[in-house]
Amino acid sequence: MKKKYTGIFRLSVIFMLVASLAVFANLPIPSPATATPGICKWDYVITPGFGLPIADIVLNSEINRVVAGPNSRLLAIVQRTTVPPLILYSSGDSGRSWGTSAALGRAMITEFGAQTNVWDAAIAPDDASFWAIVTSTAAFGPGNLPIEVWITPDAGTTWRNTRLAGLLAAGETIRTIDVSPKYGDEHDIAVGTVTGTGAGRIWAIKSGGFSSWLAQAQPVAAGLGYDFFDLKFSPTYASDASLAVVFADNVASTWYNIWLRDIARNTTINWAFTTTPPGIEVRDPTAPAGASPNLLT
């Protein structure tokens, strides 16, 4: 899969995901927002795992992913020269200090195994201790790829393997993950998968102990298949049961839509934007004729 999607979807589109959910009732196309002077400021924190054996020029950088949660919680996935090379770091004080995955609980060490990479992570927006992470697994397929999801309700002291890897098709890998706000006694976890051919899917699971992953209904457009690159639960998920999604088809375009869910049944009811199937097209204004990136270019 071409690396340009990481920049396109994680940086350029994430605001659209959050903003559109905040104004879901009217369903407008979101407009840019500006920061309030004196409130939104940039600063830096201590690099997780600063010093050797950081692999500073391997992959994108020494830090592959940073996730911010409530109550000063940060998670970082760091590229190292050790085994495994992708390690999860956690900070409970806004990055002033960090702990590695080896300090996040004995269950994580024994169940993950020494060769397991951590590829992605998400924190519940209303619970700094509830995390979901994407890992590789030695049990399914070669390549140490992102195909499994683990959840922890207590900041890494105990972990539950959700057993997604065994449900994925050959060549299907996880590209994005998110955790919903809490409703009742649980959270929902959703992932988007890619194959490079448009055979990706959205999967969802409830955090309750007896739930299992279910593949969700696809957006409808004749002859199109999709790979899913980013998704975000609504901040008012308990009342509107919606999730914003960015995906590319196997023909010519990238799309954005809002997924409307039946929370109780863990299924998709409908998609919000149906007048221009399969949603609102995401276009690159710098490309010729405003071309939309897709799986083929």
Q: Looking at this protein, which amino acid is placed at residue 251?
A: V
User: Alpha-carbon distance 152 to 159, whole Å?
Assistant: 5
User: Alpha-carbon distance 228 to 241, whole Å?
Assistant: 19
- The confidence score (pLDDT) of residue 34 equals 57
Cis peptide leading into residue 235 (ω within 30°): no
- The confidence score (pLDDT) of residue 25 equals 43
Q: Please state the pTM of the whole predicted model.
A: 0.80
Number of H helices, E strands in the chain: 4, 17
Torsion angle in degrees (nearest 10) through CA of 29, 35, 39, 45: 90
- The confidence score (pLDDT) of residue 291 equals 65
Q: Looking at this protein, which amino acid is placed at residue 199?
A: A
- The confidence score (pLDDT) of residue 105 equals 39
- The confidence score (pLDDT) of residue 93 equals 84
- The confidence score (pLDDT) of residue 36 equals 63
- The confidence score (pLDDT) of residue 24 equals 44
Cis peptide leading into residue 288 (ω within 30°): no
Q: In whole numbers, what is the pLDDT of the chain averaged over residues?
A: 77
- The confidence score (pLDDT) of residue 18 equals 47
Give the count of beta carbons closer than 10 Å to the beta carbon of residue 81. 11
pLDDT in single tens digits along all 297 residues of the chain: 434 344 444 444 444 554 455 444 444 555 555 556 666 666 677 777 666 555 554 444 578 889 999 998 989 888 777 777 777 888 888 887 777 654 443 334 445 555 678 899 999 999 999 999 998 876 555 667 899 999 999 888 888 889 999 999 999 999 999 999 999 889 999 999 999 888 999 999 999 866 799 999 888 776 788 999 999 999 999 999 999 999 998 877 889 999 999 998 888 888 888 766 788 888 776 766 656 766 655
